[in-house]
Amino acid sequence: MTTIFEAIKDYLQMQLDNEPKNPLHVGEVMSCWMYLALMDEATIFIQIGLNSTNDDKVKEMLEQSLKQCDSQGKRFKDLLKKEGISLPPTSEQRPNSDPNAVPLGTKMTDDELMNGLSIKTVTAVVHCATAASQSIRNDVGLLFTHCMLEKMKFGSSLKVVMRKRGYIKVPPYYYPPGIPKQ
């Protein structure tokens, strides 16, 4: 049975094959540029995280996200270069360091790392959804949709780990007035 995501992908791919390649409009350029900047900034956060933790599961999640950021960043760099658009400035890559050599007052806790990674993942999903819905060119919309689905899949596994470790920040529960007491 075909899933909704496969149907959307097949539809967009079919439309992509017959579509004339107009230049990107300013919204598409801005969305691509911002997403690439987001991936580059997330990469730096992840590198800092890898230099801060000794927890194997946290490292595994950070490495998965780093691999995804690198892959998605490359796709957007290739698109922007092909379209003749300059790339956003990026921060310097962080060298590897021993987490035990980082002073306690400067390194992030595993809880902070996982919540920061979660926030960056959610931000990426929302950005992709917005950009996909605003894209005129199907290839751009498909690129954002694909990246969004990748981030959503990663976010699901991240949430499982965060819940298991007690890292999820839960807002207060809402009990509407007049709700029956049980």
- The residues spanned by each domain of the chain are 24-90+108-165
pLDDT (average), residues 51-75: 97
CATH architecture of 24-90+108-165: Up-down Bundle (1.20)
Token pair for 165: 């470790």
Tell me the pLDDT of the chain averaged across its residues: 92
Question: What residue type is assigned to position 48 of the chain?
Answer: I
The mean-pLDDT minimum among 14-28, 51-65, 134-148 falls in 14-28
Report pLDDT for 178: 85
Share of the chain above pLDDT 90, in %: 75
Is the pLDDT confidence value at 10 over 80?
A: no
pTM: 0.86
